[in-house]
Amino acid sequence: MRLCLALVAVVLVVACAFSSMAGAAEISAVPTMECAGVYVKHPKGPNDAKLKVQWREAGAETWRPAFRLTRYDANHLATSIFGLKSGAKYEVKVEGVGEPATTGFTTRPDFSLPKPRRVVTLEAGASIQAAVGSASAGTEIRIPPGTYSGGITITKSGTADAPIVLRGMVPEGEPAKKTWERTDLPVVDCRAGAATGIDIRGASHVVIDGICIKDAKDFGIRLSGAKACVIQKCQIYDTRGRWTANLHVAGRDSGHHLIQDNHIADMDHPDPKTYIGADSGTSMPFNYKDPGSRRFTEFGYRADTPGPRTILRRNKVESFMNGVDPAFRGEPGKFTPAHEDVLAKWQGHDIDIYDNTIYHCADGMELDGVGVNIRIFSNRFEKCNQCVTFAPVAPGPYFCVRNLMLDIRWGVLKLNTGMRAGRLNRNVYFFHNTCNAPEHKRAGIVLVYGGAPSRNIVFRNNIFSSGGKVIDFSRRTTHKVDMDYNIWHSSLKTSRRPVFCGFGGGGFDRFRQVLTQVTGHPGEPHGMEADPRLNDDSALGEGSPAVDKAVIIPGINEAGFKGNAPDIGAVETR
């Protein structure tokens, strides 16, 4: 499943084109590999709705619309462009106030290992740290299968054309396998007590390729103040301790990392059924009251004070309390709509998380924190308690688009925030996701609880299909969710358990009525309660009411569909 999207995100970082006319907007672009953030500088006022962003590939005649701009502080707006080609040139413009402002950008090229300047081939079991100590830009350290001591620290930097590379040696003639299928990678073993398997401290342009790191005390791989590193085709297993992570990123002025094709997993923990108990009422594989939980790793991937432009793609993440925690640590409530310049104080922006499989986690993706232009798309969540949490997030925008969320144990999305009074949870776009949980019997698969108020939380063109309740909604909620063009379905046959909870019974019509009263937005005027008729791949089956029924959202789905309109859900029928 690939994404047919167009989004734009505006952040003041890259090449900028400024209009000299008074009152005109200023524009800049922050490209990643397949997306770009677009940032517009313009004071808040009545002209916000007039500002429009368009983009095109360099040399093309036709401009394409971008998704609408979102104001994230008093002086800036942002949006995102998806579906770009890597290593390609584009133009983007903003118009509507004063003269149009235009800038260009080039997306990041796809990664391939450059030819090394120097090759060091280790003997099996030799010291990796010693080889790292003598490395310089362009050195490739080749590591044969075997077991090696953990606690490796890298402080030297390579360059973009000549990185420092630690690379596992694949046996000659070995056919290509997915990372999680391999049994022949060199192993960095930390059971002797190493806190971190491989620690990249303040270095840039370091590549870790095809190595198994396991049993670290705190972190499997840590990127601390590091920049523009690549972690690929690695197995990162079984970090110990409650607040630890298999892969950890931290440090201001960092980011620009590429994390791809890895298996990040807690491989060594007890079967939840053996110690939680049949009467616990949950399939959640974590219970802090039980000593067995101490064997679990808290985080698969975790970022604290991250830099911009990090990409996580094509990884398999499984069996954690929090599978992917981009975190964007910091108090979201501090960045109120009146803040003058969020990105002057915070660097968590333009993060792309796509084409990953996130399996059997409590929270598949915990987005709680501070971020701008955070893009979550084309991922597969399976057997998670909750797929995505926004509890809380600010200032946004956050895009959650065309993800598959399957066999959910609790809810596909959670809105329940703990920010202090006067703070605002805001700017989330939940578009074209397919949420299918036929065995689900607990809380609604959409959870909208209390907490700090929310604004601009938008749901469009999603499928919510459950074996039980489809939504739990507190009538005392302060979340002003905007829901329309979604399909809601429950296979629950008894009338004694309402599938739309928090609405006083009455089914879908009552749901729409109360949703309108509580949120101030029209409640699902074009939505429907219907069986989406999903097939075994969670695509639309024969006769699905979702075909050609999605609303067109410029910059998201206006191109790439067949039929009279796009389909509702993550997968477009062909």
Residue 22 confidence (pLDDT) above 50: no
Closest CA to 229 of 111, 350, 354, 134: 111
- The pLDDT of 474-486, averaged and rounded, is 82
Share of residues in the chain with pLDDT > 90 (%):
57
R_g over Cα of the chain: 24
Computed over every residue of the chain, the mean pLDDT equals 85
**Residue 477's pLDDT band (cuts 50, 70, 90):** low
Length of the chain: 574
pLDDT the model gives residue 369: 83
pLDDT tens digits for range 23-81: 678 999 999 999 999 999 999 988 899 999 999 999 999 999 999 999 999 999 999 99
Residue 18 has a pLDDT of 34
Specify the pLDDT at position 297. Answer: 79
Q: What is the pLDDT of residues 504-551, one digit of tens each?
A: 566 888 889 888 988 889 999 999 999 999 998 889 999 999 999 999
Position 345 scores a pLDDT of 82
Taking CA atoms, 197 is separated from 144, 310, 437, in Å, by 17, 21, 37
**pLDDT tens-digit profile of 355-402?**
999 998 888 999 888 899 999 999 999 988 889 988 788 899 999 999
Among 61-75, 438-452, 458-472, which is the least confidently predicted range?
438-452
| Beta-strand runs (E) in 349-410 | 349-354, 357-359, 363-366, 369-377, 380-382, 386-389, 393-395, 398-401, 404-406
Using pLDDT thresholds of 50, 70 and 90, give the confidence band for residue 283.
very low
Per-residue confidence (pLDDT) for residue 467, from 0 to 100 = 87
Region 244-254: mean pLDDT is 82
pLDDT at 440: 76
Which residue, among 527, 392, 388, has the nearest Cα to 460 in the 3D structure?
527
pLDDT, mean of residues 243-266: 88
Q: Is 64 helix (H, G, I), strand (E, B) or coil?
A: strand
pLDDT at 494 over 80: no
Is the confidence at residue 109, as pLDDT, over 90? yes
Distance, in Å, from the CA atom of 570 to the CA atom of 364, rounded to the nearest integer, reads 18
Q: What is the β-pairing status of strands 380-382 and 404-406?
A: parallel
Report whether 131 contacts 180 (CB < 8 A).
no
Instruction: Please say if the pLDDT value at position 16 is more than 80.
Output: no
Name the percent of the chain lying above pLDDT 70: 83
Q: Per-residue pLDDT averaged across 232-238, rounded?
A: 95
Residue 273 has pLDDT above 50, yes or no: no
pLDDT of the residue at 241: 65
Quick one: pLDDT at residue 570?
A: 97
* Residue bearing the bigger pLDDT, 505 or 260: 260
Q: How confident is the model at residue 8 (pLDDT cuts 50, 70, 90)?
A: very low
State pLDDT tens for residues 122-149.
998 899 999 999 999 999 999 999 999 9
pLDDT at 275: 31
Question: Strand pairing partners for 377?
Answer: 354, 401
For position 476, what pLDDT does the model report?
Answer: 66
179-206 pLDDT, tens per residue?
A: 999 999 999 999 998 999 999 999 999 9
Q: What is the pLDDT, as a whole number, of residue 430? A: 97
Q: Can you tell me the distance from the alpha carbon of 212 to that of 47, in angstroms, rounded to the nearest whole number?
A: 54
Tokens 């800038």 locate to 103
Tell me the average pLDDT across 404-420: 78
Q: What is the pLDDT of residue 100?
A: 92
Quote the pTM value.
Answer: 0.92
Q: Does the pLDDT of residue 553 top 70, yes or no? A: yes
**pLDDT grade for 269, boundaries at 50, 70 and 90:** low
pLDDT of residue 415: 77
Residue with the bigger pLDDT between 327 and 390: it is: 390
More confident residue, 212 or 294: 212
Interatomic CA distance for residues 480 and 426, integer angstroms: 9
